[in-house]
Amino acid sequence: MSIAQFWRENRRYAYCMLAILAFAIIMFLPDASPVQAGEQAIALTAKGKASLAVMAFTVILWVTEAVPFPIAGLISLALLTILKVDTFKNLVADGFGNSIVLFFIGVLILSAAINATTLMRRVTSFMLFKLGHRPSLIVLVFLTAGALLSAWITDMAVAAMLLPLGLGILRDAGAEKLKSNFGKALMIAAAWGPLIGGIATPAGCGPNPLTMGFLRDLAGIHFTFLDWSLIGFPAALMMIPFAWWLLLYFFPPEKIALSISREEYEARKKDMGSITRKELMVISIFFITIALWICEPFIKSWTGGTIDYLEISFVAFACACLFFLPGIDVLSWKQAESEISWGGIVLIVTGLSLGMAIYKTGAAQWIAYVLFGSIGSLHPFAIVFIITVGVALMKVMFSSNTVTGIIVVPLLIALAKTTNISPALLAIPAGITSSLSFILVSSTPTNVIPYSSGYFTITDMAKVGVFMTLLASLCVALSVYFLGGALHII
């Protein structure tokens, strides 16, 4: 037996042993000394150390896929319970009790309804007629469209919109799951585009207004919508070509017969015929869903807060229910059930439980000060770059952009006050980077939606995501330091 064959047959055992070793090393390390944050001493508790050990164990299993990723997540829940980091009931409530579960079910049903019609065939036929001769351009379109849309609509919603469109193109291309480089690049682009655009405006992602609120309440700095956009939008625009180049470098699209002639395009249109009543129903529900996602704050304001339940998860599952009503009947439950990635849902909810455990035990606060507590003596540009890279790496631990913002931003504002640095110089790059999760699929639901298509692995995203994280950090640092300084925003 060759060494290569032996490794192929036994690598899962090796990866499991590596995960166990990482867990054991962290658990048996001597207790760390408390870090001083002004007058406050922040200690790493026994529960905090245990949560970090479980995190290291689980991330290794997720990245190497030594066991199925939903099982790795469930093992983390068992370990957190056995180690008494939190009660089993609380851990389940933090993950499975999160409304994001209903969001996923809703958007996957929406995707199933679209796929049950010829709507995506119509759209993809047009795209292939215009862009099919250059698969790389289709990847760029997905990145750009995702970024521009998610500047105004939540990242998850944009990824949910791009998923069925991408699947339609890949089916037309005959791209094989896990084998097609074009499939990998396109589906990762469907995640990265929304992530990039989410930083462009305060409306793009939860940590953005959260950061502005912390600056106002903790530092007395009033950061406006325009102030954020003047920094966030250029940073997002700089990231798009980097993301495009990286995806094509790591996953050069294979030669695929995508392009269709005008005659074939016209023949497809004739074959599909006019839009049917069923398709009109799907279009109507689709646009109602998007309209409610976009207009939720305005509706809440117009009704004086009477209608205050139209948050993204409620809208997703409520609109998904419409497809099954008598007179609409776009889907049967059996069809919908087969389209829902139950493993993806388990990945997200267990990741949420793990991230919240790290937050609740104080381990996150300790790590934040260990990483950033001594940056005050560096050049301002270096400070911004280190913060963006550090927060991006912390995102590997947390499965919520908002949780990351809640943990990091107040700590950095406090750190700025003790080191005589502008609070905005630390808080703004941290707030922006809180939503940039290019490495780990489980770090945000926005990644899980395209991942549920089955075209790329956790390792695929991780290996290209490391480089994207560094380049994105450079883009944020350039925008914050030079534009923020030149415009006197920071």
Residue 191 domain flag: yes
Residue 57 domain flag: no
Residue 92 domain flag: no
Count of domains in the chain? 1
Residue 96 domain flag: no
Residue 142 domain flag: yes
pLDDT at 401: 66
pTM comes to: 0.70
CB 340 within 8 A of CB 374: no
Residue 106 domain flag: yes
* Greatest CA separation for the chain: 75
pLDDT at 79: 95
pLDDT at 114: 76
Distance CA 16, CA 18 (A): 5
Determine the structural domain holding residue 140 and report its residue range.
Answer: 101-202+236-342
Residue 394 domain flag: no
pLDDT at 386: 87
Residue 249 domain flag: yes
Provide the residue-wise pLDDT of the chain in tens; the chain has 490 residues: 677 777 777 888 988 999 999 999 999 988 877 776 666 677 888 898 998 899 889 888 887 878 887 898 899 999 999 999 999 999 998 888 877 778 778 877 887 787 777 776 676 667 666 666 678 888 998 898 889 878 876 687 788 878 888 888 888 778 889 889 999 999 999 999 999 998 988 767 767 877 887 788 777 888 777 888 889 999 999 999 999 999 999 999 887 766 666 776 677 777 777 778 888 888 888 888 878 877 777 787 788 778 877 777 788 889 989 999 888 888 888 888 877 778 777 877 887 788 778 778 878 778 777 777 777 677 888 888 888 888 887 777 665 666 666 667 777 776 776 667 788 888 889 888 888 889 988 778 889 889 988 899 988 999 999 999 999 999 999 999 888 877 777 6
